[in-house]
């Protein structure tokens, strides 16, 4: 529930329209059968499924007018502006769809489960709805339910629109982080597989040619840079042509990040360094890391559970020159009016998705 509140607040800030907020809440209540794109498990109490259909064949179909069905292959091209109805056979089905439909006004999307199949309806489709749509069978053992990976089907659906060769993005200026140890993606996806796409640097103006080894183009992802390096930094955009005039994508700021993935790199400092009874002390735990890697802090200290302290946690991005960017995460513990019980070991445990690091500092009485 907390997460929804935060999301709502964020949306309120951006949209200043509380309609969007209530809508998300409502959808959460209604969507008990839904599996979120993150792959989070949803408990569904349904009897075990008997048989989903012919083995190996996709259970994902599109309903055409006059009650005709078409089985969807790995990719499908549709005309935007119409309603789309997808069906997936089975009495307990999970869905995923472009995350953008969850983030923004998504009243166009509805999912209904009946005895025999689940139905996903998206009304007034547009180029922005281009992306992977997938459904899978949910198998339950008592109250424990999970996705049946052998019966998961996906179709990448292009809503081809000659006025929007690029899948429109809500963000007009995106940041792409480049790391030495993994490919980077400039996500200019197209709505038409026939479009010829190129990647361009803004200053100095230069076309980055796609070649099969270092830079490749995938219409469902964008430009993939195999070995990002500091030379790839700068402002870029993509250009697409079919017939007619070329179209330009949103802009992408490519930033090179040097910090390797791993447990946090932590430092711990007390200020002032020498303390006597009655002083106020700040103990600061600092982590330098990758821009989008969140860090959490846990403190242990001598007066724990016996006296109130103030803890303030924050983070900011720092440009370290040459376009390298670092996230500085900090937790500051303030102890006012130091007493005898407050002297001793202050322990900061910093945690990120890769691991944790523990650092200690001893505050002794002067």
Ligand X SMILES: *[C@@H]1O[C@H](CO)[C@@H](O)[C@H](O)[C@H]1NC(C)=O
List residues binding ligand X (CB under 6 A): 17, 19-20, 105, 107, 211-214, 271-272, 280, 282, 334
**Distance between CA atoms of residues 56 and 62, nearest Å:** 18
Give the residue with the Cβ less far from ligand X, 75 or 282: 282
Give the residue with the Cβ less far from ligand X, 104 or 237: 104
Tokens representing 259 are: 């910090």
Give the residue with the Cβ less far from ligand X, 152 or 214: 214
CB 285 within 8 A of CB 342: no
Shortest distance, CB of residue 124 to ligand X, whole angstroms? 7
Give the residue with the Cβ less far from ligand X, 202 or 337: 337
Sign of the C-alpha dihedral, residues 30, 32, 35, 39? positive
**Distance between CA atoms of residues 127 and 192, nearest Å:** 10
Shortest distance, CB of residue 219 to ligand X, whole angstroms? 20
Shortest distance, CB of residue 210 to ligand X, whole angstroms? 9
Rg (CA), the chain: 26
Shortest distance, CB of residue 262 to ligand X, whole angstroms? 29
Shortest distance, CB of residue 84 to ligand X, whole angstroms? 15
Tokens representing 312 are: 């303030």
Of the CA atoms within 13 Å of residue 103, those in its CB half-sphere come to 12
Distances (CA, A) of 214 to 232, 258, 261: 12, 20, 22
**Distance between CA atoms of residues 288 and 318, nearest Å:** 10
Shortest distance, CB of residue 216 to ligand X, whole angstroms? 10
Give the residue with the Cβ less far from ligand X, 107 or 340: 107
Give the residue with the Cβ less far from ligand X, 8 or 154: 8
The DSSP line for 64-84 is: -GGG-EEE--SEEEE-TTS-E
């Amino acid at each position: 529930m907390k997460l929804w509140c935060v999301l709502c607040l964020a949306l309120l800030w951006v949209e200043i329209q509380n309609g969007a907020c209530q809508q998300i809440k409502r959808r959460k209540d209604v969507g008990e059968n839904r599996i979120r794109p993150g792959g989070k498990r949803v408990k569904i109490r349904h009897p075990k499924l008997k048989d989903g259909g012919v083995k190996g064949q996709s259970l994902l179909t599109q309903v055409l007018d006059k009650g005709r069905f078409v089985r969807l292959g790995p990719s499908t091209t549709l005309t935007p502006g119409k309603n789309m109805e997808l069906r997936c056979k089975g009495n307990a089905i999970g869905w995923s769809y472009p995350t953008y439909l969850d983030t923004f006004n998504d009243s166009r999307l509805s999912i209904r489960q009946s005895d025999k199949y689940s139905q996903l309806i998206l009304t007034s489709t547009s180029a922005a709805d281009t992306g992977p749509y997938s459904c899978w069978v949910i198998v339950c053992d008592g109250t424990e339910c999970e996705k049946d990976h052998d019966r998961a089907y996906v179709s990448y659906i292009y809503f081809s629109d000659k006025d929007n060769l690029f899948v429109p993005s809500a963000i007009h200026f995106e940041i792409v982080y480049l790391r030495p140890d993994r490919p980077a993606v400039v996500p200019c996806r197209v709505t038409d597989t026939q479009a010829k796409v190129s990647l361009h640097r803004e200053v100095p103006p230069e076309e980055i040619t796609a070649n099969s080894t270092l830079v490749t183009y995938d219409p469902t992802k964008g430009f993939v840079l195999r070995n990002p390096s500091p030379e790839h930094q700068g402002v870029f955009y993509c250009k697409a042509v079919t017939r007619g005039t070329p179209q330009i994508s949103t802009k992408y700021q490519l930033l090179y990040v040097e910090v390797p993935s791993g447990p946090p790199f932590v430092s711990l400092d007390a200020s002032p360094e020498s303390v006597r009874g009655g002083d106020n002390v700040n103990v600061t735990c600092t982590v330098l890391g990758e821009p989008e890697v969140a860090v959490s802090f846990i403190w242990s200290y001598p007066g724990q559970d016996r006296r109130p302290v103030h803890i303030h946690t924050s983070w900011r991005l720092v440009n370290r020159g040459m376009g390298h960017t670092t996230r500085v995460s900090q937790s500051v513990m303030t102890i006012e009016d130091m007493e005898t019980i407050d002297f001793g070991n202050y322990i900061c445990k910093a945690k990120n998705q890769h691991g944790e690091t523990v650092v200690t500092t001893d505050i002794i009485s002067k």
